[in-house]
Amino acid sequence: MLSATVTVDPAFVVGPVRRRTFGSFVEHLGRSVYTGIHDPGHPTADADGFRGDVVELTRELGVSTVRYPGGNFVSGYRWEDGVGPVEDRPRRLDLAWHSTEPNLVGVDEFMRWAARTGVEPMMAVNLGTRGVQEALDLLEYCNVPGGTAWSDLRRAHGAEEPYRVKMWCLGNEMDGPWQIGAKTAAEYGRLAAETARAMRMIDPDLELVVCGSSNSGMPTFGAWEHTVLTEAYEHVDHVSAHAYYWESDGDLASFLASAVDMDHFVDSVAATADAVRAAGKRSKFINISFDEWNVWYQKRAESRPPSGDDWPVAPVLLEDRYNVADAVVVGNLLISLLRHTDRVHAASQAQLVNVIAPIMTEPGGRSWKQTIFHPFALTSRHAAGEVLRLAIDSPTTGTARFGEVPVLDAVATHDAETGEVVVLATNRSVTDEVTLDVDLRGFAGLRVVEALTLSNPDHTWTATADDDSSVVPRTNGSARLTDARLGAVLPPVSWSIVRLGPAS
Q: Any idea which residues carry the catalytic annotation?
A: 173, 292
Other CB atoms within 10 Å distance of the CB of residue 55:
18
Residues 439, 495, 437: CA angle, nearest 5 degrees? 20
Judge contact between 489 and 453, C-beta under 8 A. Answer: no
By the 10 Å C-beta count (0-12 exposed, 13-18 middle, 19+ buried), 118 is classed as exposed
- Cα(106)–Cα(423) distance, integer angstroms: 40
By the 10 Å C-beta count (0-12 exposed, 13-18 middle, 19+ buried), 443 is classed as middle
Q: Closest Cα partner for 494 from 267, 324, 377?
A: 324
| Amino acid at position 147, single letter | G
Residues sharing a CB contact under 8 Å with residue 309, sequence separation 6 or more, in sequence order: none
Q: Which residues pair with 420 in a beta bridge?
A: 415
- Cα(407)–Cα(426) distance, integer angstroms: 8
Residues sharing a CB contact under 8 Å with residue 31, sequence separation 6 or more, in sequence order: 314, 315, 316, 317, 319, 353, 354, 355, 361, 363
- Cα(180)–Cα(112) distance, integer angstroms: 29
Q: Considering only the C-alpha atoms of the chain, give the largest distance between any 2 of them, rounded to a whole number of Å.
A: 70
The SS3 of residue 318 is: coil
- Cα(78)–Cα(94) distance, integer angstroms: 11
The total number of residues shown for the chain amounts to: 504
- Cα(319)–Cα(172) distance, integer angstroms: 21
Listed in sequence order, the DSSP H helices in 356-437 are 373-382
- Cα(331)–Cα(165) distance, integer angstroms: 29
| Amino acid at position 486, single letter | L
Q: Which residues pair with 421 in a beta bridge?
A: 414, 500
- Cα(344)–Cα(31) distance, integer angstroms: 29
What are residue 134's phi and psi, to 5 degrees? -65, -35
